[in-house]
Amino acid sequence: MNHLPNFSDSLKQLIASPSISSTQPSWDQGNNDVIQLLATWFEQIGFEITIQNVPETRNKFNLLAKLGSGTGGLLLAGHSDTVPFDENRWQSDPHIVVDKKDRFYGLGTCDMKGFFAFILQACKNLSANQLKKPLYILATADEETTMAGARFFAQQQLIKPDVAIIGEPTSLVPVIMHKGHMSHRIKVKGQSGHSSKPSLGINAIEIMYQVIGCLIDLKDKLALNFVNNSFDVTAPTLNLGAIQGGDNANRICGHCQLDIDMRALPGMTDAELINLLSESLKPLAEKYPNRISFDELHPSSPSFEQKQNSELVSLAEEISGHSCCAVNYATEAPYIQQLGCQTIVLGPGSINQAHQPDEFLAHSEISKTEEILAKMIQTYCL
């Protein structure tokens, strides 16, 4: 006796349980309703459920569901949250699934609560004693802001699957690479004073001018020394994003700050890039002791690369009918990979619809997604 919803009913319920993540407290919501729905459904079909309260979040949760026992196996992973929405630009209520023009419209249909609706159908007829290796489902918290859920899950090292598939909307193209992302604030401390007496002050803007010179040299050096042709933009990038300093034309500027963003190529660690930044500023830091410093603005997210010559990539290419590729957006893949598994990003829906009004999941992707999930479960668990 079970009351498991069918695909479209489970999709409706997931979308009707808002789980918006935002750095703005007025938008930020918990994800407990989504986690409880998933826990109820997967428990009903025999999965063991673990729910983690994720530290450094506003009371949000990760869910891990496990069927079968032993080592290795398959992890199907995704995030339980969505981005905020722009109400006036949606044709319908973002939390109510509208099925029209062969599409399911709703916030999170493609990015990416819809993936869990597919997983549920793929798992409903499985039983633990059929499985040779375990099947895990992971739903994380706060992917859209800090990736705190995936970061915490990786630290815990609770499981060690053979392979992991993250069902972000890739239009069912296997993604094996993306850049990392980090942002820093560089601060220059000067000494203010009357503009008529330059020798009595230290002008922070003038020092920042030299800092910018070093950063532009670093940018050129990155472009020369690091190349990966899998990306549209083949080099690591460094962007000067925002600058603030001083208060008045007749005062020597006492403080200036500059926010920058850097995107590492796969194979490059965050530490390596930060080191290059630090090295490039070193001559100036020596020239102006204790006046130049930099700090992280947000937690960084690492770059990701799954080696192309792996069994998982070959299989994913074969079933999906698409060659693997690199993308420009960041995902939880580098954290999931820290579990020690082959990891790819592969899921229904297009990134062009993610984070947009009238987000949708096309009916045309349903059968292919079902086929991919069935084949992956069969290969790695049965």
Site for Zn ion in 186-205 (CB under 5 A): none
Q: Does 332 bind Zn ion (CB under 5 A)?
A: no
Residue closer to Zn ion by CB (options 142, 168) is: 168
For β-strands 103-105 and 98-100, DSSP reports them as antiparallel
Residue closer to Zn ion by CB (options 10, 353) is: 353
**Rounded to 5 degrees, what angle do the CA atoms 190, 196, 202 make?**
15
Choices 106-114, 123-131, 197-205, 337-345 (CB under 5 A): range interacting with Zn ion:
106-114
Which one of 143, 144, 317, 359 is the catalytic residue? 143
CB of 367 to Zn ion, least distance (A): 22
CA distances from 141 to 39, 58, 160, 180, 181 (A): 14, 10, 20, 20, 19
CB of 215 to Zn ion, least distance (A): 31
Of 111, 142, 332, 365, the one binding Zn ion (CB under 5 A) is: 111
363 Rama sector, left if φ>0, alpha if ψ -120 to 50, beta otherwise: alpha
Angstrom distance (rounded) from CA 289 to CA 314: 54
Is-contact 184 297, C-beta < 8 A? Answer: yes
- Take residue 281 and report the two structure tokens written for it: 């500023």
Which one of 9, 28, 33, 81 is the catalytic residue? 81
Burial class (CB in 10 A: 0-12, 13-18, 19+), 205: middle
Q: What is the DSSP string of 200-222?
A: GSB-HHHHHHHHHHHHHHHHHHH
x/- contact string, 155-184, with Zn ion (CB under 5 A)?
-------------x----------------
Would residue 295 show up in a list of annotated catalytic residues for this protein? no
Angstrom distance (rounded) from CA 70 to CA 364: 36
Count, residues near Zn ion per rule CB under 5 A: 3
CB of 351 to Zn ion, least distance (A): 8
Residue written as token pair 């705190």: 148
Backbone φ and ψ for 367, nearest 5 degrees, come out as: -70, -35
CB of 309 to Zn ion, least distance (A): 27
Residue closer to Zn ion by CB (options 175, 218) is: 175
Residue closer to Zn ion by CB (options 112, 148) is: 112
Would residue 87 show up in a list of annotated catalytic residues for this protein? no
Residue closer to Zn ion by CB (options 280, 369) is: 369
x/- contact string, 122-141, with Zn ion (CB under 5 A)?
--------------------
CB of 144 to Zn ion, least distance (A): 7
Active site residues: 81, 143
- Residues at the site binding Zn ion, with contacts judged by CB under 5 A: 111-112, 168
